[in-house]
Structures are given as structure tokens and as C-alpha cells.
Structure 1
Amino acid sequence: MDQLLHRVKTKLAIRAHRKVRGLLDGEYVSLFHGKSLDFDDLRAYTPGDDVKDIDWKATARVGAPLTKRYIAARKHAVMLVVDTGRDFAALSASGGPKRDVAVLAAGVMGYLAVRHGDHVGLVAGDADETEHVPFRGTESHLERILGVIHRRTSLTAGPSRLATQLDYVRRTFRRRMILVVFADDGAIDPDNDDELRLLRRLHAQHEILWITVGDADPTLAEFADHDMFDVADGRELPAFLRRDSALRADFAASVATRTAASSGLLERIGISSHRLTGDDDVVPGLFRLLEVHNHARH
């Protein structure tokens, strides 16, 4: 029980630097639009407080700066939208399972939300099927969500097609949400006008954070003695090709070009994004994403 969430908490504890502590202790609430705040009380100003929150009349009365403190008047709805098709059963750029990276990243985002009183839901699936887990705000519920992601992502799952899950969100939900999307490399087709319209429509209604889990490079030396195959169709990748230095350079260049094109496309739409390479990149990568998202709104 709580094994997947325990892994998330352990990873956060290991990375318990200043930024992590800040988001866990309260900075999280300033990251997103849409949360109305009610005045609670006053406290002494501390460096780093927003000067817009200083109560100047109270400051003049007591002779020292005082900051207004607020309480949330309503909760966020944080929807995790996860590709659990066959593509996510492959290896990540760091060599570990992409499924594990997705579970860890979804757990971190969900844990931040639950810790701050928000509700978390899930839309997960592949080209053939979509599963929806309704919103709740408990750790046991988050453990269930992580279990669904882990269970659904396998080599026997249907082909990956993230647009199926995104369109399910468009058709099913009317309330404003924070969508945290977990995508595979190449999930966006810049030439598919229908998919681009779908993304723009979702962005107009919701706040979106886009997380890509990068593919492994099959030409790396560490994989030279292992059998490698394409999870999409099961075809083996011949060893002689994977040892080709020219092919290795072409693969790296292709990844760089595709990553830049994808992030540029999302940026033009107004969606903050980040590409994760493996488990060790999850916590620092997600906090960089949250910082980018926060700066983009100001």
C-alpha cells in the first residue's frame, strides 16, 4: 500500500533543497491562475514577499512593514493527462523505463496538489481506450491514480495516441482545470491542423503544463550487447545499425531538432513545457517547468 507514492516522497526528500521546500510549504499557490483568495490576517514582512501584498495603512500605524496573508477560497482541479500506450512502455533517454519516469513525475505533481488541498484526477489511455479517475484530494486517491498509470502502461497496451485523451478532456469537462500532460517524444504533429486546433482550444480554457518523457537512443554503447526492438511494431533493431557512428550522430541531431520544434510550437500556443530524460531529472526538471510557467504569466 502506498508503495508508488512512497517512492515519490523519498525522491522529494532527497531533493529537499530550498526550491522544493518553498513549493511544499506554500509557494505552489502562487503558480496558477484561477484561485480566488480571501484575506486572513497580517504578519511581519519578510524578504521575498510580494510588495503588492504589503498593507500600507497597517504598516504606517505600527511603524513596520506588514504583509497581508490570504487563504484559498476554492480548490484547484489538477487533471493528469497521461499517455499509457505502448510508446510509454519503452526506455527513457536515461535508459530506465519511461513508465517509471511518468509515474514519478505524475506523483510529484499530484503530491504538490494534494498537499495544498487541491483535487487531482486522471485521464489516461491509448488510441483504443481512455480511462478517467475522478477528482479527489487524498494521498490514498493519488496512490490509486499512480497505480492506474503503472498498470495500464505495458507492451500489450494499444498504440499511443495522446490526441485521443486530449479530445476526451475537451468533450467531457467544462470547468477550468490545470492540465498536466505527459507525452511521448513526437506526440505533436506540427502538420496536423486538427491536433493544433485541439491544443489551442484546450489552452484557451485551461492552464496547461506539458511534460515530455524522452526516448532512449538505441545507438548508445550501453545498449550494444542488448537486444533492442521497436515497441510500436515489435521489429528488432539490428545490432550493426546501432553500432553505426554516423547513425548515432544523425539520431542525436534528430532528437535535438524535434525537441526544439516541439517546445517552440507549444511556446507559440502559450503552453509551458519541459522534456524529462529519466528519474534523476524529474524533480529538478519539474521545478524548472513550474518556474517557466510562473514567469510566463507575469
Structure 2
Amino acid sequence: MTTASDTLLGPRGAHCDLADLLRLRFAARDLTLFAQRPARSLLTGGLRTRMRGRGVDFEEVRLYHPGDDVRSIDWRVTARTQVPHTKVFREERERPVFVVADQRSPMFFGSRTCFKSVLATHLGALIAWAALHQSDRIGGLVFGDTSQRDIRARRSKHAALELLHQLHDYNRELNDPVPADNAVHLSTILEDTRRIAKPGSAVFLLSDFHDFDRRCEQQLFELARHTDVTLMHLYDPLEKQLASNSGLTVSDGEQRLQLPAQDPAFQRAYRSRFEQQLHYLTGRCQRLALPLLSYATNDDIHTLMRERFGARTRQPGRRSAR
């Protein structure tokens, strides 16, 4: 059930407010970004991670990949199969959490409640505060059309505040949905994310993915090999469906274009374009076994985030499912 406080904290308007991002720390208290399985030592974090390294728990033997630690090679399996195999361990430590937030010009659009760029700042803030509550290290990458800012992963409130300030500052610079000719491509951002996100990190990528293509797919594949990636697809309902009883006029301030929005054929073609792009993105995520979450600008993100990441508590007298 949505409370009054959640409504006040929801994203609104064309630009975000830093005070709202700061208040989201209260809404993030009941969020847990990862499955809660107690670690053996609370000094290094309370969650088990998928950090690949020489930990205390043996996990599996798999084929050797370039870049794996040669000290972990399983020589018995390698000799038996004549193919290099390596042992994989699961370490118990805090997990670095990276928020990669798109603040490029195409995100500066919205017809309901807020702009996509504002929705990205609120989701990024919720993730950052949730990670801080879990004693994880927080880092990020906020990028606009022609610049970006890296936030080094640290387990401190200062790291979360730095991320929020960068989200706010980049969001406030947006004033036009038309990108510049030299705007950075998403594939370049994914390549930079590979540079800053160490193996075992959890990466949350927030974007409308309007320019997702094969170059992005390759970079995403490389990123997902050593990190846990969650994609959050952000869109506006007007991008999904154009329903109107009359024609619509679109202008960039200099030129005007009349759209036959009342034409059913035009509406089907408009919707088909959105669905094709989303289908392409969904298919690539399924191929890479990556979670893809889709949020609209008029969604109740607090309820949806609790449904996805809400802390699960056991009911008295009930056994947990196995």
C-alpha cells in the first residue's frame, strides 16, 4: 500500500530535487539488493557475493577463461580432460555496488508525472541508499551527452552523497531532448563501466537504451562475465503508445511537424517501433541471463522496488520454502 510519505518522495517534474534524493534514504531501509544469506563474518559484510576469487567456500570447477587466476587451475581435471579447468570460490565480503545512470538528452522527456531522467535519479538514489544500509561499497558512473563522472566505490555515506550530487548536477544540466552530434554512445559507457567495476561488483544500469545495438551487446557480454548486471529500462507511456482523437503537432522550437496520431495504422507503426526495440533488448538480456526491469515515468516506483527488492521476513509459525 502506498503511503503519503511515498507519494511525496515520488519523482516529479522535469528536474530532480536534491532534498528528495536525500530523503529517499528512509524509503530504502526495507530494500535488500541481494538474496540474504548470512556470511560467516560480519566484519567484511553481511552478504555472500558472487565475487570470484580465493575465498573460503569452494563453488565449482569450470573451464578456464583468460584472466582467471592460474593458481586456481584444477590440474587433476585438466589432466583428465586435456582442457584447462579452474576452481571457483565464493568469498564473503561486502559487495561493490555501481549505479550507472544515463543523463543524456533523450532522457529529458516525459508526458506523465516526471521525465525519464528524473526517474533515473530516484532509482539510482534508492539503490545507493539500500547498498549503504547493507554496508556495501557504493560507486557509480553518471554520464551526459559529452561528459561523465566516475565515483570510486567506498563504504561510506560520503560516497552515496557524492553519487547523489552528481545525479542532481547532471540532471539539472538537461534542457533539450535532442542530443548533440558528438553525444557519447551507450557502448562507450559500457566499456568505461568495465574499467571501473571490479570483478564481483553489482552493476545497475539505468537508461532508456534508445541506442542499444550490437556494439552494446558485446560490451555487455564482457561486463557480465565478471560482474552481476541488472538493467533498468526507463520509458514514458507516450513512447509506448500514441493514442489521440486528433492530430498532434510536434515542434523543436524552430520547425513544426504534424503527426496523424488519430490514424490507427500510424498508431500501430508507432507502437511497433517501441516493441521491436524492447524485444531486441529483452532477447539479448535473455541470451546473457541478465535481469531486465522496465519502469514507466508514471509507475509507483516505491511499490515496484519493494516488490522486487523488498526484504522478506519469515512469518511466525511458517517454514521457509526450499
TM-score (norm 2): 0.62
Partner SS for 2:272: helix
8 Å contact from structure 2 (residues 108, 175) kept in 1: yes
Offset at 1:130? 2.3
Question: Quick check: 1:76 aligned with 2:100?
Answer: no
Q: Distance in 1 between matches of 2:137 and 2:283?
A: 30
Offset at 1:99? 1.4
Change (3 A) 1:138 1:222: farther
- Name the structure 2 match of 1:166: 190
Partner SS for 1:110: helix
| Percent identical | 15
User: Would you tell me which structure has more helix in proportion to its own residues?
Assistant: 1
8 Å contact from structure 1 (residues 127, 164) kept in 2: no
Aligned pair count reads: 244
Change (3 A) 1:195 1:139: same
- Name the structure 2 match of 1:60: none
Partner SS for 1:117: coil
Among candidates 128, 136, 157, match of residue 146 of structure 2: 128
- Name the structure 1 match of 2:123: 105
Counterpart residue type for residue 151 of structure 2: V
Offset at 1:255? 2.0
Offset at 1:145? 1.2
8 Å contact from structure 1 (residues 77, 135) kept in 2: yes
Offset at 1:2? 6.0
8 Å contact from structure 2 (residues 102, 144) kept in 1: yes
Q: 97-106 or 167-176, which moves further after superposition?
A: 167-176
Question: Quick check: 1:155 aligned with 2:175?
Answer: yes
Q: Distance in 2 between matches of 1:75 and 1:198?
A: 25
Partner SS for 1:280: coil
Offset at 1:85? 1.0
Offset at 1:9? 4.2
Change (3 A) 1:273 1:95: same
Summarize the alignment of residues 232-271 of structure 1 with structure 2, pairs less than 5 Å apart.
238-271=257-290
- Name the structure 2 match of 1:3: 19
Q: Distance in 1 between matches of 2:34 and 2:200?
A: 25
Counterpart residue type for residue 150 of structure 1: H
Change (3 A) 1:223 1:177: farther
Change (3 A) 1:4 1:228: farther
- Name the structure 1 match of 2:233: 212
Q: Distance in 1 between matches of 2:204 and 2:161?
A: 17
Offset at 1:95? 5.1
Q: Distance in 2 between matches of 1:243 and 1:209?
A: 37
Partner SS for 1:76: coil
Offset at 1:238? 2.8
Among candidates 19, 26, 51, match of residue 34 of structure 1: 51
RMSD, aligned α-carbons: 3.8
Change (3 A) 1:259 1:110: same
Q: Distance in 1 between matches of 2:56 and 2:135?
A: 14
Change (3 A) 1:155 1:2: closer
Q: Name stretches of at least 5 consecutive residues in structure 2 with no aligned partner.
A: 1-16, 38-45, 58-90, 311-321
Measured against aligned partners, the alpha-carbon deviations of 1:195-234 in whole angstroms (never above 9, x if no partner) come to 3221111000100000011144263449988x6457xxx7
Partner SS for 2:149: strand
- Name the structure 1 match of 2:200: 176
Q: Distance in 2 between matches of 1:268 and 1:245?
A: 34
Q: Name stretches of at least 5 consecutive residues in structure 1 with no aligned partner.
A: 14-19, 39-71, 292-297
Partner SS for 2:141: strand
